[in-house]
Amino acid sequence: NAGVTQTPKFQVLKTGQSMTLQCAQDMNHEYMSWYRQDPGMGLRLIHYSVGAGITDQGEVPNGYNVSRSTTEDFPLRLLSAAPSQTSVYFCASSSASGWGRNIQYFGAGTRLSVL
């Protein structure tokens, strides 16, 4: 099983550019989320989704958009990149039922630099 797949692994952007970070999972998980990881700050939740067509904001949503048109995919969009968005981004997914709903599976991450 591929699990949670994130692309690209690395990206360099110039300030003001836009891009989409891709996340796909093949476990039929209802719940998906995006985190950013910054030194000394752990992981912080950006946006999450409890199912196709349903998204909500996390702790640090500003500057990011998401949509969830299918169960498998949960892309994260940066409309106008800023240096403050330089970070490592992780996508995670989990089941919505039973004890499995408490276990989140993480992708390998996307390392983004905004110059």
Residues that bind other proteins (CB under 8 A): 4, 31, 33, 35, 40-45, 48, 50, 58, 90, 92, 94, 96, 99, 101-109
Closest separation between CB of residue 77 and other proteins, Å? 21
Minimum distance from residue 69 beta carbon to other proteins (Å): 20
Q: Which is nearer to other proteins, 85 or 104 (CB)?
A: 104
Residues near 4 by beta carbon (within 8 Å), at least 6 away in sequence: 23, 24, 25, 27, 91, 92, 93, 105, 106, 107
**Containing H/E element for 76?**
strand 76-78
Beta bridge partners of 90: 35
Q: In the complex, what is the shortest distance from the CB of residue 23 to other proteins, in angstroms, rounded to a whole number?
A: 12
Instruction: State the Cα–Cα distance between residues 11 and 104, nearest whole angstrom.
Output: 25
Nearer to other proteins, 14 or 28 (CB): 28
Contact of 72 with 91, CB cutoff 8 Å: no
